[in-house]
Amino acid sequence: MMMNNTLRNQFKFLPGHVIKGKWNKNTYKVIKELGCGANGIVYLAENDRQQLVALKLSDNGISIISEMNILKAFSKVQGSVLGPSFMEADDFVVNGKNMPFYVMEYIKGEGYLPFIQKKGQAWTGVLVLQLLSSLSALHKQGWIFGDLKPDNLIVTLPTYKIRCIDVGGTTLIGRSVKEFTEFFDRGYWGMGSRKADPQYDLFAVAMIMLNSSYPKRFSRKEGGFSQLKEMMEQKKEFTPYKAILEKALTGKYLTAEEMRNDMAHVLGRHSQKKSAPAAQPTGKPAATRQARRAQSKQITRRKPKYAFLETFLLILIVSLLYTLYIYGQLL
């Protein structure tokens, strides 16, 4: 996408700058720039009550209004914790020029791909499982997310929850998807239309999984299922998910729930096989189980006896650190 350079240069606000709404008169103090998209600049800001918020400002009224409408509708979707919640919309007047902006919840965390790169592939499964739960809720309300891609996914800390930013692609089921990214778009791969249905999102979820193993992505050659299948088969980490990925890519899952169930099944079976004996602490989220699997996998290549000891020690250390961390958070 083309960068809006005039907007960037003319209205680049430095930390400390105060943005005041013309209609509602609320003020926001700029803390830093979070990012710059095609439609505007997003700032981290502080509101009157010293809360951190994300504020998106644009010099082009139109596209930001559609986006705001979607965010509003999105925020009303019950039980969806997927996107940022909407706070207010207003205009900021600079040198007599009206600049519309809207304010939303600030979602703090790490980008999906950097997170996976740091923490290991083992997290892919868990995060995708979470994502599918949220999508299922969204779909039940008659919407799809549309522009699903790693850049729009944030893993929040310390809860390790997956959230979405940039809900601009969110579309009513049956309508046309207007915002999408080629690699994650089933239309681009010749695998279906751009009419919004749950399968559109599930295709993108499968492509997000492929993207985790191909961080640079890949471009369309002959396109179609054969190319995607080949890319999938080239990476052995996809072996357990093969059937799931195939179904998602070819639109065979009717609901996100179905895909989630299959995913949960594979993840469960997978971790049981690898870390069978150790007593499973009950009620722990899947996340911790996954983390442990990642560690034991690296270790088993060495001598098995030590491996057990090492695993034990590691778990001990990790638990200790975690406890300390939790204390730190509470204090």
Partner 1 sequence: MKPGTLRQILLITDGCSNQGEDPAAMAALAREQGITVNVIGVMENDVIDDKGMQEIESIANCGGGVSQIVYSQQLSQTVQMVTRKAMTQTIQGVVNKELQQILGNSVTMEDLPPEKRGEVMEVVDELGETSNLEVLILVDTSASMKLKLPTVKDALLDLSLSMNARLGNNQFSVFVFPGKKNDVEKLLDWTPKLEVLTRVFPKLTTGGITPTGPAITEALDYFNKKRSLRGLLSHDDEQYFEESI
Note if 147 is an active site residue: yes
**In angstroms, what is the minimal distance from the CB of 196 to Mg ion?**
17
Whether 211 and 150 have beta carbons less than 8 Å apart is answered as: yes
State the binding partner of 27 from Mg ion, ligand ATP, partner 1, none, CB within 5 to 8 A by kind: none
Site for Mg ion in 154-213 (CB under 5 A): 166, 168
Q: Which two tokens stand for residue 136?
A: 């299922």
Buried b or exposed e, range 51-74, using 16+ CB within 10 angstroms: eebbbbbbbeeebbeebbebbebb
Cα-based distances in Å from 156 to 127, 133, 161 = 11, 16, 5
Site for partner 1 contains 66 (CB under 8 A):
yes
State the binding partner of 72 from ligand ATP, Mg ion, partner 1, none, CB within 5 to 8 A by kind: partner 1
- CA 161 to centroid of chain Cα atoms: 9
52 torsion bin: left (phi>0), alpha (psi -120 to 50), beta (else) = beta
The dihedral sign for the CA sequence 251, 257, 259, 262: negative
Nearer to ligand ATP, 40 or 100 (CB): 40
Cα-based distances in Å from 131 to 112, 136, 140, 283 = 11, 9, 14, 20
Q: Given the rule CB under 8 A, which of 111-119, 169-177, 233-241, 318-326 is the region that contacts partner 1? A: 169-177
Among residues 90, 147, 185, 201, the one annotated as catalytic is 147
Site for partner 1 contains 23 (CB under 8 A):
yes
Nearer to Mg ion, 59 or 166 (CB): 166
Q: Given the rule CB under 6 A, which of 71-79, 102-110, 112-120, 222-230 is the region that contacts ligand ATP? A: 102-110
Question: Among all residues, which ones are annotated catalytic?
Answer: 147
Residues at the site binding partner 1, with contacts judged by CB under 8 A: 1-2, 23, 61-62, 65-66, 68-69, 72, 89-91, 98, 100, 102, 174-178, 182, 187-188, 193-196
